[in-house]
Amino acid sequence: MKKGKKVRTVPPVKRIHYFGRLGSRRTRFSVDRLGGKGASLAYMRSLGLPVPPGFTITTEVCAEYYDRGQKLPPGLMDQVEESLAKLEKEMGKEFGATESPLLVSVRSGAAASMPGMMDTILNLGLNDQTAEWMAEATENERATYDAYRRLIHMFGDVVMGVDHELFEDAFAEIKSKYSVVDDTEVPSKGLRELVGKYKQIYKKNTKESFPQDPRKQLRLAIQAVFNSWNAPRAVRYREINHLHGYLGTAVTVQAMVFGNLDDCSGTGVCFTRNPATGEDKLFGEFLVNAQGEDVVAGIRTPRDVQEMAEWNPKVLEELREMKWVLEGHFKDMQDLEFTIEGGDLYMLQSRRGQRTGAAAVRIAVDMVDQGIISQEEALLRIPPQAMTQFLLPSYSSSDKEGSDVLTRGLPASPGAARGKLAFTAEDAVKRAEAGEDVILVRRETSPEDVDGMHHARGILTSTGGMTSHAAVVARGWGKCCVVGAGALSINAGKQTVTVDGKKFGPDDTLSIDGSTGEVMEGEVDHSEPELSGYFGTVMEWGDEHRALGIRANADTPEEALRARNFGATGIGLCRTEHMFFGPGRIEAVQEMILSDSTRAREKALAKLLPYQREDFKGILEAMKGFPVTIRLLDPPLHEFLPRDKKRQDLLARTLGVTPGMVEERVEALEESNPMLGHRGCRLAITYPEIPVMQVTAIVEAAVACRRAGIRALPEIMIPLVGSVKEFALLRDLVEQTIEDVMKAENYSGNLQIPIGTMIEVPRAAMTAGEIAGIADFFSFGTNDLTQMTYGFSRDDINSFLPDYLSQGVLDKDPFFSLDQTGVGRLVALATSEGREGNPDLKVGICGEHGGEADSIEFFHGIGLDYVSCSSFRVPVARLAAAQAALRIDGWENSD
């Protein structure tokens, strides 16, 4: 006992909770005090369900046990005796009697599920004498001695610390002696022998005999459960999962019931609804004349729970009734354990059932229709991520069965894809256009690969993280993508990829799963998406509750249309740089970059103008009536020039300059840290002719739309602003250009184009009040803001991120879920100071975090106007935003 530490003393009345006919107290069945298991049993019993009686020693006693230096509190065992006496009376059996004795199970159970602690000990109370009686009474010597040897093994191992290998070795000897392989083949005679051996092992290692006194068994078992709370595995589990503040574990002692008494007995497990599809029908299995663990052990093949209709329709009907009682009270789909003893049904467990995303959606909607839960409750319990399952082709586990998983990368963009391997973007384009399904396999991708990525069915890279180029682009398109599959060794020159000792070439097929990161050999089947009515219902309910607007990041009319289909009410980020890579465009871009005068650059830009105008027109049309935030050119210019000598020479020939000139310009543009280099608004300030061309294209497109009766609502966003002066200079330029173009177009309509900025440089956040004074909107670029606030290059983070995650330095990848403490504080500060500087400021976020549920809750909490995310995350965002509103702002319960 630690000096000076105060010892808790739990009052006797709070130490033990009895559940049963006799003396069950009506109380709040506190999960904190009784543990999950104890509370569920007590609750079921209080509902009048048939639960074998028993009692639970509370978690507070466990805390007192530790306060006292691992000693049972004085008087506890007296109270256990009292409860035991009640139990004996209720069951009409005596604990420790020679004939027809009361047997009990002892189970641990904390408030949260916690692997690593001791599990159940069954059949406590068995000893040599009671075993003899039972073998005879049940006419099942084998089962009796099998139970007895299990008791000694488990008790010896868990309670007394005897090395479990000693027991296993002895079992192996017996099997060898009887020349059998499976445990179940050992005859009852062998099991009797084994019990003898086990008792010897027990005695040799504990210096005492296996306790024949059931009371001693019980006391030691209770202590063992308490001790297991601080077993290293349990402590580690709590650390990893940040489970703090728990008192300890409860101990439940419960009368045994026997599913293996006769052919009117049985045991089973079932879900109250189908956990895979959500269908409202009991789903599970049972075994006649069997004990609980047999179902799990797979010794006999269990039967579908629905087949109970033939065996014992009354029990099935009872189960169905209990389903409604339990769901009505727990207000959720349940995972049940039950035993039938001589035709009577007993409930041994009822807990929340695990389910797939699709099932979660269907169950939630059905339960609202059935009046079990409110719409709001339904919305809150669907994992937002589940919504994506409705949008994409996917592998089911049966699809994958038998397939060879070669390795696993990061699940960068969900979906299923299969195809032959293309090792260059050009090859992917060529073969896709010839009708072939290809997977583009690259070490990493760059903007030059975009066309090939677009043509491929899926993208697979060996480097890069969740926000690498490949990942971001693929997510934007909803294209299946696996990145950072480090086990792949790619040789693009030889067109081979080697993994796990196998080599694949252009004619081999791989299948990738963007939801799990799995890379599989050959062609694996998958199912196409189906937007069912459940999806629509949930989205509709959510939209009624959310405060955040949901926009999408989209760069093409097709993406914009898809975003609208998925429910986006605006484009929050339309990147213009991807538009620079199409054929006919990239040449003009390169010509512009290689020009050495403003006039020459303007000439090259003039060639781009018509393309850009058409791009913008298409997107504005697709989003008619909804705002489209167009970001001016952002990446550094070197991204548009070829890096390899061969393509540089080709470019020189195309432009009619010397190869040396191209090489020199590429070198001059090279940067040590391109992320922090000459890009964003810095480009616009040094080469104002670029934004002038882009703004011209935007205004011309908008005017053309308006004249065609289409309500185009463009917004112009200036990237990478770090100071109010940058923004002021460029705002003037943009406004002047808008005025000039409207004059040139002779358009006098009311074309109010809001001009705002991305907040992605920490300095912009720190000076947001100033910037907001002259900005119409802010959009947080949380990707770059995270990079700069943490000082993490997302392209390089993989060299230390795994260590950071495994050592707990980071809880999660900050590029996936917003770092609320650091980056989030900047976002909140900039939002509030921005609004002080300009009360009309519209504030949104367009980084990857716009589609992640925890981040969305944060954004709702600080009062942003909207989030913008890739179109495939729009449904996730819609639901997450509704949940955030419900959680933070609460709601009127309609119950």
Nearest 5°: CA angle at 306, between 300 and 312?
A: 85
Q: How far is the CB of 481 from a copy of itself (least distance, A)?
A: 19
Q: Does 248 bind a copy of itself (CB under 8 A)?
A: no
Is residue 259 within 8 Å of residue 292, measured between CB atoms? yes
Q: Does 239 bind a copy of itself (CB under 8 A)?
A: no
Decide whether 49 or 788 has the Cβ nearer to a copy of itself: 788
Decide whether 720 or 864 has the Cβ nearer to a copy of itself: 720
Show Cβ contacts of residue 631 under 8 Å, excluding neighbours closer than 6 positions: 573, 574, 575, 576, 717, 718, 719, 758
23, 413, 439, 488 from 442: Cα distances, Å: 70, 16, 10, 10
Choices 63-71, 280-288, 416-424, 667-675; region in contact with a copy of itself by CB under 8 A: 667-675
Q: In what order do the strands lie in the sheet with 496-499?
A: 489-491, 496-499, 502-504
In angstroms, the CA 529 to CA 807 distance is 39
Decide whether 496 or 793 has the Cβ nearer to a copy of itself: 793
**Candidate list 17, 454, 455, 469, residue with the active-site label:** 469
Q: What is the DSSP string of 132-184?
A: HHHHHHTT-HHHHHHHHHHHHHHIIIIIT---HHHHHHHHHHHHHHTT-SSGG
- Choosing from 237, 804, 816, 891, the residue that interacts with a copy of itself (CB under 8 A) is 804
Please give the structure tokens belonging to residue 365.
Answer: 């909607």
Strand ranges, E, within 353-415: 405-408, 410-413
Show Cβ contacts of residue 281 under 8 Å, excluding neighbours closer than 6 positions: 273, 274, 306
Show Cβ contacts of residue 346 under 8 Å, excluding neighbours closer than 6 positions: 50, 51, 52, 257, 338, 339, 340
Choices 415-423, 506-514, 610-618, 722-730; region in contact with a copy of itself by CB under 8 A: 722-730
Decide whether 357 or 822 has the Cβ nearer to a copy of itself: 822
- Choosing from 138, 230, 495, 723, the residue that interacts with a copy of itself (CB under 8 A) is 723
Q: Does 165 bind a copy of itself (CB under 8 A)?
A: no
Decide whether 291 or 831 has the Cβ nearer to a copy of itself: 831
Q: How far is the CB of 690 from a copy of itself (least distance, A)?
A: 13
HSE-CB of 62 using CA atoms within 13 angstroms: 27
Smallest Cα–Cα separation from 360: which of 401, 328, 399, 389?
389
Q: How far is the CB of 793 from a copy of itself (least distance, A)?
A: 4
Q: Does 726 bind a copy of itself (CB under 8 A)?
A: yes
Decide whether 10 or 717 has the Cβ nearer to a copy of itself: 717
Decide whether 609 or 810 has the Cβ nearer to a copy of itself: 810
In angstroms, the CA 193 to CA 174 distance is 8
In one-letter notation, the amino acid at residue 421 is L
- Choosing from 179, 301, 397, 673, the residue that interacts with a copy of itself (CB under 8 A) is 673
Q: Is 860 a catalytic residue?
A: no
Q: Does 503 bind a copy of itself (CB under 8 A)?
A: no
Choices 345-353, 418-426, 529-537, 799-807; region in contact with a copy of itself by CB under 8 A: 799-807
How would you label 816-845 residue by residue, b for 16+ Cβ within 10 Å and e otherwise?
bbbbbeebbebbbebbebbbebbeebbbbb
Please give the structure tokens belonging to residue 368.
Answer: 């609202």
- Choosing from 116, 393, 659, 674, the residue that interacts with a copy of itself (CB under 8 A) is 674
Give the total residue count for the chain. Answer: 895
In angstroms, the CA 553 to CA 549 distance is 13
Decide whether 303 or 443 has the Cβ nearer to a copy of itself: 443
Choices 243-251, 701-709, 817-825, 866-874; region in contact with a copy of itself by CB under 8 A: 817-825
Q: Does 748 bind a copy of itself (CB under 8 A)?
A: no
Choices 116-124, 188-196, 317-325, 798-806; region in contact with a copy of itself by CB under 8 A: 798-806
In angstroms, the CA 160 to CA 153 distance is 10
Spell out, one character per residue from 618 to 657, where the chain touches a copy of itself: x when CB under 8 A holds, - when not: ----------------------------------------
Smallest Cα–Cα separation from 105: which of 39, 47, 155?
155
Choices 528-536, 594-602, 754-762, 857-865; region in contact with a copy of itself by CB under 8 A: 754-762
If DSSP states are collapsed to H, E and C, what string results for 461-524?
ECCCCCCCHHHHHHHHHCCEEEECCCCCEEECCCCEEEECCEEECCCCEEEEECCCCEEEECCC
Q: Does 810 bind a copy of itself (CB under 8 A)?
A: yes
Show Cβ contacts of residue 64 under 8 Å, excluding neighbours closer than 6 positions: 7, 8, 9, 10, 73
Q: How far is the CB of 720 from a copy of itself (least distance, A)?
A: 7
In angstroms, the CA 206 to CA 871 distance is 64
Which residues, listed in sequence order, are joined to residue 134 by a DSSP beta bridge?
A: none
Q: Does 803 bind a copy of itself (CB under 8 A)?
A: yes
Q: How far is the CB of 664 from a copy of itself (least distance, A)?
A: 11
H or E stretch covering 62: helix 59-67
Q: Is 469 a catalytic residue?
A: yes
- Using CB under 8 A as the binding rule, the residues of this chain from 295 to 354 that contact a copy of itself are none
Q: Does 763 bind a copy of itself (CB under 8 A)?
A: yes
In angstroms, the CA 428 to CA 454 distance is 9
Q: How far is the CB of 445 from a copy of itself (least distance, A)?
A: 13
- Using CB under 8 A as the binding rule, the residues of this chain from 76 to 105 that contact a copy of itself are none
Q: How far is the CB of 671 from a copy of itself (least distance, A)?
A: 4
Q: Does 818 bind a copy of itself (CB under 8 A)?
A: no
Please give the structure tokens belonging to residue 341.
Answer: 């003893």
- Choosing from 807, 839, 840, 890, the residue that interacts with a copy of itself (CB under 8 A) is 807
Q: Does 862 bind a copy of itself (CB under 8 A)?
A: no
Choices 129-137, 508-516, 625-633, 671-679; region in contact with a copy of itself by CB under 8 A: 671-679
- Using CB under 8 A as the binding rule, the residues of this chain from 767 to 796 that contact a copy of itself are 767, 770, 784, 787-793, 795-796
Choices 129-137, 205-213, 295-303, 820-828; region in contact with a copy of itself by CB under 8 A: 820-828
In angstroms, the CA 213 to CA 128 distance is 10
Q: Does 678 bind a copy of itself (CB under 8 A)?
A: yes
Q: How far is the CB of 816 from a copy of itself (least distance, A)?
A: 16
In angstroms, the CA 692 to CA 605 distance is 10
Residue given tokens 């720190």 in the structure block? 766
Which residues, listed in sequence order, are joined to residue 288 by a DSSP beta bridge?
A: 266
Q: In what order do the strands lie in the sheet with 344-352?
A: 303-304, 283-288, 266-271, 334-341, 344-352
Decide whether 381 or 443 has the Cβ nearer to a copy of itself: 443
Decide whether 672 or 750 has the Cβ nearer to a copy of itself: 672
C-beta pairs of 208-211 under 8 Å, 24+ apart in sequence: 210/152, 210/155, 210/156, 211/127
Q: Does 808 bind a copy of itself (CB under 8 A)?
A: yes
Q: How many helices (H) does the chain have, and how many strands (E)? A: 35, 29
In angstroms, the CA 226 to CA 73 distance is 12
Q: Does 809 bind a copy of itself (CB under 8 A)?
A: yes
**Candidate list 480, 481, 846, 869, residue with the active-site label:** 846
Q: Does 825 bind a copy of itself (CB under 8 A)?
A: yes
- Using CB under 8 A as the binding rule, the residues of this chain from 39 to 78 that contact a copy of itself are none
- Choosing from 136, 169, 317, 671, the residue that interacts with a copy of itself (CB under 8 A) is 671
Choices 81-89, 112-120, 539-547, 680-688; region in contact with a copy of itself by CB under 8 A: 680-688
Size of the site for a copy of itself (CB under 8 A): 48
Q: Does 264 bind a copy of itself (CB under 8 A)?
A: no
Task: Give the catalytic positions in this structure.
Answer: 469, 846
Q: Which residues contact a copy of itself (rule: CB under 8 A)?
A: 671-678, 682, 685-686, 720, 722-723, 725-726, 729, 760-763, 766-767, 770, 784, 787-793, 795-796, 799-800, 803-804, 807-810, 819, 821-823, 825-826
